[in-house]
Structure 1
Amino acid sequence: IKWLYGVTAYQMSYQYHFHLWWPFGMNSSVGYLYKLQVKITNDVYRQPFGIRTIRVTDDQFLINEKPFYCLGVAKHEDSDLRGKGLDYTLITKDFNMLRWLGVNCIRTSHYPYAEEIMEFTDRQGIAVIDESPGVGITKANNFGNVSLQHHLEVMSEMIRRDKNKPSVIMWSIANEPATDLDVSVSYFKTVLQFTRDLDPAHRPTTFVCSQIFESDKVVPYVDVICINRYYAWYHDAGHLEVIQLQLQREFAGFRNLYKRPIIVTEYGADTVPGLHRDPSSMFTEEFQVEFLQEYHKEFDRARQQFLVGEMVWNFADFMTIQGTTRVVGNKKGLLTRQRQPKTSAFVIRERYNNIASGKNTTCDNSRVAKYTSNPHTYH
């Protein structure tokens, strides 16, 4: 489309048979982009954009009217060489590894990512849950008017920047806030409605919930229920046998209250690369594999009904502040901080590719054994 302003006549062309923008794995036309060109005298502005639709039902997330299942990871802007600094080579490496894993969706946990990364998601067909830096909202005094006005300002900045990104499929206004507090209800209802009103495309809007269904007070107002759960890690540490039971209870609790689709936006276990033990125990590569597979059993049951996504925490190990609870950072990554795969990465790769192609999702551990330095534990 070309528009020449400043003369009495202008020319504009229209194309009616559009190529749709699709996420990776849903169509052969992945990440198809058009370019809007605006020319005013000697100034030219070019804006890439994609065409796609989003619609949420009681139990489905539809992109271009086809069911979308989020095969995802959460990320961080972090590496051992640049820290949180921008690095084009690292971005390219990360997106190559996302494709290798079979990932079709990421969450910008817990802040808007660099615009260069968002341009990659558009071109590569990686859907994005775009999250604001609303993290750490855990005390009653965090819900005052000053905080609210700042939160609205941040949402406005994020939407103004990313509103034309076809890869952005949902807004997340906060991560793990204290939505069990009465004061949180009016606060988040305001932010949710403000976000919906500001986005001309009316994308679904959510927050990431860490509260159990009995205590949460804000989930009734979101379009998609997003939950972080760490059964057998932060709760009942090491007890893999509780995962399916607790997930079943949590899913049933939310679904009985609210007929909305659910995404598990975080689940994961810290894993020291190269640490092995038979039988498995926490922090070993074997435990991480078994931990993920227990979640997958319940995911496979629920995704036939209302589950529309699963997102591992985390794509790669990342640095945290020093303290007694972390040994040189958070090690829940499928990859090391240097982007080398742990055994779990091969499990996720097989699962995601099988789901995308409609195959049996049961992981063949004999194949996984080829990629570990302690293969006898998988026989």
Structure 2
Amino acid sequence: MHRAFETSVNRRQQSLGGRWEFVPDPNDVGEQRAYFEAFPDDADTQQVPGTWNTTPEYYDYEGPAWYRRTFRLPADAAVRLHFAGVAHEATVWVDGDRVAAHYGGYTPFETHLAGMAAGNHEIVVRVDNSRTATSIPLPGADWFPYGGITREAFLETIPSVSVDDVTIRYDLDGTEASVSAAVAVRNSEAESDIDLSVSVGDARAEATAVAPTGESVHTLQLGLDIERWTLDRPKLYDVAVTLTDEDGVEDDHRDRIGFRTVSVTETSIRCNGEPVDVAGVNRHEDHPDWGHAVPPTVMESDLDRIERAGCNAVRTAHYPNHPRFLDYCDERGVLVVEEIPYWQYDEEAFARDSVLERGERMLTEMIERDRHHPAVVAWSLHNECYNHQDGVVDATQRLAEVARERDDSRPVTLASNTNWRGHEDRCLQHVDFVCLNAYWGWYADDRNWKEFLADVRDRHPDKPILVSEFGAGAIEGERTWNAQKWSERYQADLLSEAIATFRDAEYVTGWTVWQYCDTRTDPRKAMERPKTKNNKGIVSEFRRPKDAYWRVQELLDEGSSD
């Protein structure tokens, strides 16, 4: 399914993966013509999960499109219909009735359907990947606007009283954890007495409660001796919630968690109180064969290569990556900085209708989805926005408030290139550490990293710096005698010089090179990018290593032996 472990052992789960009927709708007439009631007879097909932009017929298509399939229920039931990701705007009909709508291609949504009859049923989904003045991201954002049902879709048969979710919070005192488990319960029928239990590892708490009609939250407390999650020993604990209603019907919900603390000092990010030398990459979910719908084997092989280079961190550029990828990071002890897809917004963009509201919702959905991942050590609010402008400062303050309201256990950051533009970054006052983007030696040569870091430190002396983007483009296989730009050697040399500078600055807590692999760019930028790709990857789009990959590995090997 969509995780690296079972999320329930009692529920009947039905994958909706496979071939769906598919119709592009460039004139946006599908709703008017009621495709959700009578799907066009001349429909094509597309794979789910998948993106139409990896198929020759629809390689460059951007706009509305429609999907259809049927499913069968063996008996009358209530069901939970879950979409792990639809890029980017989705409207869902079941048996001709509109049941859900969602904006945002990188966070999940679901709907509960009570009283479904046994037999065949139809799902129709309208998908729109258009980038507009109010979309997130904006037109021209430097990654491809893949469209489709790009992550898993599935059905779960649920009882009338079911576990909707659980939120685990904890306090640590050495090896002792005090855990609070807030269990969200959904009841589609009359008020019911329920028995609840929550287990974390070998510890267990039980309670009886009343579940009113609708939604309710029930909190259980438990304590246990734990081994802390660390990069070297990423210990994980299974979480199981079980519910039994007054008729003896049982439901359950499964998750995982690791116990650790994350904190920030003036010079470092710390895990369990110990400073972490962050060495990582920025990773887009992108592959020539699958686009955003990267399969699990590629996720794992990406991490194999990232770890083989000696890296210990990933910045998810510039959106929440697949939750299964985060599961793998949890298992391997790879740190993650996770971000929502605001990219180069100014105050005019933030002022447009729905833009800030959509971002708040995306941020909330990201935190709710990923709050239990120990690998995720920070929430990032936006990337390379116009942080000297009043409207951006106000939006940042609101986003930071939302992040801290939803989760006060992790630091908040943003990726700034405002100082690089020559302006004062006024948004960094609202975050806990600086993520800094600059491309000295690539887009500009009038300064160097040493001078620039010193200047930023003078402006923000109380916050550590993570260099979140730096690098150079390199065409795979391009080699020249004098290491010209776009050659593999130029890229490798630039990374070497920059990393050496970062290591010398005691207030730099680490770096994430831009980027892990070459990626397909927005069609609006295609003429600016050789091969229509962002070629700054240390491996190619097909994951073949460039000289820069081996140079990073060499530098990290040297650092580990010091």
TM-score interval, smaller chain: 0.7 to 0.9
- The 5 Å alignment of 1:78-117 reads 78-117=286-325
Q: Which residue of 1 aligns with 2:476?
A: 273
User: Any idea what SS the aligned residue of 2:539 has?
Assistant: coil
User: Any idea what SS the aligned residue of 2:369 has?
Assistant: helix
Code of the residue aligned with 2:430 in structure 1: it is Y
User: Any idea what SS the aligned residue of 2:344 has?
Assistant: coil
Q: Which residue of 1 aligns with 2:456?
A: 254
Q: Which residue of 1 aligns with 2:336?
A: 128
State the alpha-carbon separation in 1 of the partners of residues 487 and 355 from structure 2: 41
The 10-residue stretch of structure 1 (56-65 or 146-155) with the greater mean CA deviation from structure 2: 146-155
Q: Which residue of 2 aligns with 1:168?
A: 376
1:234 offset after TM fit, Å? 1.2
Q: Which one has the bigger strand percentage?
A: 2
Return the match for 1:195 from 403, 409, 413.
Answer: 403
1:144 offset after TM fit, Å? 4.6
Is structure 2 residue 559 aligned with structure 1 residue 332?
no
State the alpha-carbon separation in 1 of the partners of residues 362 and 321 from structure 2: 13
Q: Which residue of 2 aligns with 1:75?
A: 283
Q: Which residue of 2 aligns with 1:365?
A: none
* Cα 1:334–1:141 shift into 2, 3 Å: closer
Is structure 2 residue 353 aligned with structure 1 residue 151?
no
State the alpha-carbon separation in 1 of the partners of residues 469 and 347 from structure 2: 22
Code of the residue aligned with 2:504 in structure 1: it is R
Code of the residue aligned with 1:246 in structure 2: it is N
State the alpha-carbon separation in 2 of the partners of residues 286 and 156 from structure 1: 42
Q: Which residue of 1 aligns with 2:259?
A: 51
1:248 offset after TM fit, Å? 2.3
Q: Which residue of 2 aligns with 1:312?
A: 513
* Cα 1:6–1:261 shift into 2, 3 Å: same
Is structure 2 residue 394 aligned with structure 1 residue 186?
yes
1:214 offset after TM fit, Å? 4.0
Q: Deviations over 1:81-136 (max 9, x none)?
A: 11111311111211111111111111111111111111111111111001011223
The 10-residue stretch of structure 1 (154-163 or 215-224) with the greater mean CA deviation from structure 2: 215-224
**Do the aligned residues in 2 keep the contact of 1:261 with 1:306 (CA within 8 Å)?**
yes
**Do the aligned residues in 1 keep the contact of 2:288 with 2:542 (CA within 8 Å)?**
yes
* Cα 1:309–1:12 shift into 2, 3 Å: closer
State the alpha-carbon separation in 2 of the partners of residues 220 and 51 from structure 1: 29
**Do the aligned residues in 1 keep the contact of 2:496 with 2:555 (CA within 8 Å)?**
no
Q: Aligned-residue CA RMSD in angstroms?
A: 2.0
Code of the residue aligned with 2:411 in structure 1: it is P
State the alpha-carbon separation in 1 of the partners of residues 405 and 259 from structure 2: 21
User: Any idea what SS the aligned residue of 2:497 has?
Assistant: helix
Q: Which residue of 2 aligns with 1:372?
A: none
- The 5 Å alignment of 1:230-249 reads 230-236=439-445, 245-249=447-451
Bigger RCO (CA 8 Å, 6+ sep): 1
Code of the residue aligned with 2:301 in structure 1: it is K
1:145 offset after TM fit, Å? 6.2
Q: Which one has the bigger helix percentage?
A: 1
Is structure 2 residue 234 aligned with structure 1 residue 15?
no
What TM-score do the two structures reach when normalised by structure 2?
0.58
**Do the aligned residues in 2 keep the contact of 1:269 with 1:288 (CA within 8 Å)?**
yes
State the alpha-carbon separation in 2 of the partners of residues 132 and 48 from structure 1: 23
What TM-score do the two structures reach when normalised by structure 1?
0.85
State the alpha-carbon separation in 1 of the partners of residues 561 and 260 from structure 2: 23
Residues matched between the structures, number:
340
State the alpha-carbon separation in 2 of the partners of residues 86 and 232 from structure 1: 32
User: Any idea what SS the aligned residue of 1:77 has?
Assistant: coil
State the alpha-carbon separation in 2 of the partners of residues 63 and 337 from structure 1: 32
State the alpha-carbon separation in 2 of the partners of residues 65 and 6 from structure 1: 38
Q: 5+ unaligned residues in a row in structure 2: which ranges? A: 1-198, 210-219, 245-249
State the alpha-carbon separation in 1 of the partners of residues 507 and 464 from structure 2: 5
Q: 5+ unaligned residues in a row in structure 1: which ranges? A: 237-241, 360-379
1:246 offset after TM fit, Å? 2.6
State the alpha-carbon separation in 2 of the partners of residues 85 and 223 from structure 1: 33
**Do the aligned residues in 2 keep the contact of 1:175 with 1:209 (CA within 8 Å)?**
yes
- Structure 1 or 2, whichever has the larger Rg, is 2
State the alpha-carbon separation in 2 of the partners of residues 269 and 199 from structure 1: 35
1:3 offset after TM fit, Å? 4.4
User: Any idea what SS the aligned residue of 1:299 has?
Assistant: helix
Q: Which residue of 2 aligns with 1:368?
A: none
State the alpha-carbon separation in 1 of the partners of residues 288 and 384 from structure 2: 27
**Do the aligned residues in 2 keep the contact of 1:35 with 1:49 (CA within 8 Å)?**
yes
Q: Which residue of 2 aligns with 1:375?
A: none
